[in-house]
Amino acid sequence: MTPLLLTVFRLNPAVAIGTDLCFAALTKTAGAATHHHAGQVD
């Protein structure tokens, strides 16, 4: 995601990295909650 934000959208590197980290944290948290709710987490 970061290379895309840097090359295509021409974002400042600090903004691109922060955006990528925020997006990753949100999607991984949602995925973990979904798996936990489905009973797939030991």
Query: Could you read off the pLDDT of 3-30 as tens digits, one per residue?
Result: 999 999 999 999 999 999 999 999 999 9
Residue 29 CB neighbours (<10 A): 10
What percent of the residues of the chain are helix, what percent strand, and what percent coil, each to the nearest 5? 75, 0, 25
Return d(Cα 1, Cα 3) in angstroms, integer. 6
Return d(Cα 32, Cα 35) in angstroms, integer. 5
- Prediction pTM value: 0.76
The whole-number pLDDT of residue 6 equals 97
